[in-house]
Amino acid sequence: MRCTGIDAFLHMLADAGVNHIFGNPGTTELPLSDALVDDGRFRYVLGLHEVAVMGMADGYAMASGSLGVVNVHISCGLGNSMGMLYNAYRSGTPLLVTAGQQDRRLVFEEPILSSDMVRVAEPWTKWAVQVQRIGDLPSAMRRAIQIALTPPTGPVFLSLPVDLQMEEAELDLTPQPPLDRRVRPPLEALRQAAELLAGAGNPAILVGSRVVEADAIDELVRVAETLGAPVIPESGTTHGRLGFPCRHPLYAGGLPLWSPEVRQRLEDYDELLVVGMDLLRQYVYHEPARAIPEHVRVIHLDEDPYQLGKNYPVEIGLVGDCKAGLAELDELISSAMSPEKQSIAQARMETLGAMHSERRDALLVEAASQRDVRPITALTLMDSLARVLPANAAVVEEAVTTTNTMFERLGALRRPDGFFGHRGWALGWGVGVAMGVRLAWPDRPVLSVLGDGAAMYGIQGLWTAAHERIPVTFVVCNNSQYQILKIGAAGMKLPGALDGRFVGLDLVDPQVDFVALARSLGVRATRVEDPEELSERVADSLAGDEPQLFDVPITRETPDRLNYG
């Protein structure tokens, strides 16, 4: 087919099933903007800052399980988006990130904004390349799409010189049909793992985000029930997607943050089945550094071989698809378990289920006891939201000390696949991700729970919510500070922090006026100080068809530590 570079680019995206492009243009991206004028195949979603652009693409790709496509401006646009690219890389989100490059005839002179973007993007992408010849463009596109979508999935980067976008040539645009990338783990290794697990005295399961991404939650539930094993997600700082239903009796609450507490939590187990998870991404160094006790034998199933034995030696490493692996493992464990072991597992499940209910009841009692405290507490805020969260809601969390795994502990998330938490911790992610999730799931209400600190890194995204009428409910948990950093400083035993004194961690004088800010970007906004009113307004907003923001002042009192139950 005879066409320009940019037409070839769009043609191949459409063939790959892409219908959204998230972008913010400059001169070197104008051939794309211009080509989209008469192209009905794509919705171009403009963000007014690259943090929002990349965040939206990340949310869209995570929720849809398909390729997210991003187009940002040369050098500076890419630079602005790097924090979000880091998040996408850590989450393994399949993104095709593109930027225009300066005209190849000018580059040697070092024209405005030209630079070696491939070197910039390389560390946080699986593959980064500048296309130099138009004849290579179709092959570059096929490779980029396939690499992004092949496990371990992740972002890729293409730099496209502006003159190449406009150049015409005869090109073979034959698409690469999608590969079925699910690989079954080797049977022999599965048998050995099943033997070990069937004979375990006290097994537990650590679950990570890739279980959700492999659509393997049901399979994991079956394995957990067969073993009567508690299921523990990653700590609240890195748990990303929720790989196990939080209302299930075997849901045992997330790992703690610090290595001594993780050790203590895992001390009583003899076998750990780890599934679809990075073992282990910690937050602050603590002694003893080894979070997994020495006596615990680790069996790890993951599509990403790099994760197996990365930090802790594994007894058995199962490389392969979580869904296929868990289904086979369950059958093998069931037939390897003696009747005596089966009844022990059932009894254990009952005990763990009772403990689960007790923990939840205790949290509800605590929430009730705080209901009249003003300004409201983090728990009251989360409880007020939990009460009205629809069963099919998607939740995007970026308010670390407020959210604190409370939705999970309160049993508010009835569909675990709708949960999105941070895996990267470059802030500014929650505004855009929530919008991307809603674009991918137009029929599911989306709640974005944001820290006031986090919100300010991506707030320009609200303009897109208004412009595109993307109905997301944003709740800003406004403690006017970077509270997690105060807790972190105390955990590091820094002298000022132990004395309760901080520099650069308070967002006061002036406090940010989120209501005025949101309204200026076209989003309806209200400050809410009462829990009942919050529940009512959020319920209405989640059922509505426009974006809304609620600014909720909460207590500024900082706990010494975060209690992730």
Ligand X SMILES: Cc1ncc(C[n+]2csc(CCOP(=O)(O)OP(=O)(O)O)c2C)c(N)n1
The contact mask relative to ligand X for 89-128 (x = CB under 6 A, - = no) is: ----------------------------------------
**Which range in 220-228, 327-335, 432-440, 445-453 contacts ligand X by CB under 6 A?**
445-453
Pick from 80, 307, 402, 405: which binds ligand X (CB under 6 A)?
402
Smallest separation, CB 386 to ligand X (Å): 18
Q: Are strands 127-130 and 168-170 parallel, antiparallel or unpaired?
A: unpaired
CA 507/CA 489 separation, integer angstroms: 17
**Which range in 220-228, 245-253, 393-401, 526-534 contacts ligand X by CB under 6 A?**
393-401
* Binding flag, residue 238, ligand X (CB under 6 A): no
**Which range in 139-147, 161-169, 296-304, 394-402 contacts ligand X by CB under 6 A?**
394-402
* Binding flag, residue 451, ligand X (CB under 6 A): yes
Smallest separation, CB 421 to ligand X (Å): 13
**Which range in 14-22, 240-248, 253-261, 421-429 contacts ligand X by CB under 6 A?**
421-429
Smallest separation, CB 163 to ligand X (Å): 34
The answer to whether 55 and 432 are in contact (CB under 8 A) is yes
- Cβ-count burial 111-149 (b if 16+ within 10 Å, e if not): eebbbebbebbeebbbbbbbbeebeebbebbbbbbbbbb
* Binding flag, residue 457, ligand X (CB under 6 A): yes
* Binding flag, residue 552, ligand X (CB under 6 A): no
* Binding flag, residue 426, ligand X (CB under 6 A): yes
CA 214/CA 321 separation, integer angstroms: 7
* Binding flag, residue 432, ligand X (CB under 6 A): no
**Which range in 6-14, 54-62, 425-433, 467-475 contacts ligand X by CB under 6 A?**
425-433
CA angle 8, 12, 14 (to 5 degrees): 120
The answer to whether 448 and 396 are in contact (CB under 8 A) is yes
* Binding flag, residue 558, ligand X (CB under 6 A): no
- In 10 A of CB 339, how many CB atoms? 7
Smallest separation, CB 283 to ligand X (Å): 10
CA 462/CA 56 separation, integer angstroms: 11
* Binding flag, residue 427, ligand X (CB under 6 A): yes
Residues 462-501 close enough to bind ligand X by CB under 6 A: 479, 481-485
- In 10 A of CB 475, how many CB atoms? 26
Q: Are strands 168-170 and 2-4 parallel, antiparallel or unpaired?
A: antiparallel
The answer to whether 174 and 183 are in contact (CB under 8 A) is no
| Secondary structure of 421-454 as H, E, C letters | CCCCCCCCHHHHHHHHHHHHCCCCCEEEEEEHHH
> How many residues lie near ligand X (CB under 6 A)?
20
Helix (H) or strand (E) holding 542: helix 531-543
**Which range in 125-133, 172-180, 208-216, 397-405 contacts ligand X by CB under 6 A?**
397-405
* Binding flag, residue 405, ligand X (CB under 6 A): no
Smallest separation, CB 425 to ligand X (Å): 5
* Binding flag, residue 380, ligand X (CB under 6 A): no
- Using the minimum distance from each CB to ligand X, give the nearer residue, 382 or 454: 454
Q: In whole angstroms, how far apart are CA 132 and each of 105, 107, 162, 163?
A: 12, 12, 11, 10
Pick from 217, 337, 389, 399: which binds ligand X (CB under 6 A)?
399
CA 230/CA 245 separation, integer angstroms: 12
Pick from 66, 91, 259, 401: which binds ligand X (CB under 6 A)?
401
- Using the minimum distance from each CB to ligand X, give the nearer residue, 540 or 557: 557
Pick from 88, 400, 497, 517: which binds ligand X (CB under 6 A)?
400
Rounded to the nearest 5°, which phi and psi values hold at 316?
Answer: -135, 125
CA 318/CA 307 separation, integer angstroms: 11
Q: Residue 505 burial (CB < 10 Å; 0-12/13-18/19+)?
A: middle
Report the interface residues with ligand X, using CB under 6 A.
Answer: 83, 399-402, 425-428, 451-454, 457, 479, 481-485
